């Protein structure tokens, strides 16, 4: 049986107008500082691609909320994409799925 990664891989593509942050692994309390360091400050257009996130805890959810609020305060656009079922479930349980700017699959 293959075990999911216990770390978080972060890939960032950034220019003056856009930023894409791709995550893979666990977004938990141990990984949040590195995630925030990579994602802040948000660009005018920021995409958080969670396609590889296998687990998220309350610290990870709080980090998403923090980034969304920072982008909104700066008048910037931030979108969360490719949310896996386990992450979506955590968002739904906490009431954040409808409150966060999650791009729903067509």
Domain carrying residue 63: 8-94
- 35 located within any domain: yes
- 100 located within any domain: no
- 86 located within any domain: yes
- 12 located within any domain: yes
Angstrom CA distances, 58 to 25, 30, 39, 104, stand at: 15, 12, 18, 21
- 2 located within any domain: no
Residue 41 is predicted with a pLDDT of: 82
Q: Which helix (H) or strand (E) segment is 48 a member of? A: strand 45-56
Biggest CA pair distance of the chain: 45
Summarize pLDDT for 59-106 with one digit per residue, the tens. 999 999 999 999 999 999 999 999 999 999 999 999 999 999 999 765
Residue 106 is predicted with a pLDDT of: 58
Residue with token string 């216990």: 6
Please state, in angstroms and rounded to a whole number, the distance separating the CA atoms of residues 78 and 16.
15
Residue 62 is predicted with a pLDDT of: 98
What's the CATH code of the domain at 64? 3.30.750.24
Residue 38 is predicted with a pLDDT of: 94
**3 pLDDT higher than 60:** no
- 48 located within any domain: yes
- 106 located within any domain: no
- 50 located within any domain: yes
Q: Exposed/middle/buried for 62, CB within 10 Å: 0-12, 13-18, 19+?
A: middle
Summarize pLDDT for 19-67 with one digit per residue, the tens. 999 999 999 999 999 999 999 887 899 999 999 999 999 999 999 999 9
Residue 2 is predicted with a pLDDT of: 59
Residue with token string 């890939």: 11
Please state, in angstroms and rounded to a whole number, the distance separating the CA atoms of residues 43 and 51.
20
Q: What is the chain's length?
A: 106
Tally of domains in the chain: 1
């Amino acid at each position: 049986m293959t075990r999911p990664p216990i770390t978080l891989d972060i890939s960032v593509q950034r220019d003056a107008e856009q930023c894409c942050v791709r995550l893979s692994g666990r977004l938990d309390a141990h990984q949040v500082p590195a995630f925030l360091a990579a994602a802040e400050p948000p660009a005018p257009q920021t995409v958080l691609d969670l396609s590889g996130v296998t687990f998220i805890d309350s610290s990870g959810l709080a980090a998403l909320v923090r980034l969304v609020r920072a982008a909104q305060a700066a008048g910037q656009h931030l979108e969360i994409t490719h949310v896996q079922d386990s992450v979506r479930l955590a968002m739904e349980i906490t009431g954040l799925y409808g409150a966060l700017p999650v791009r729903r699959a067509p």
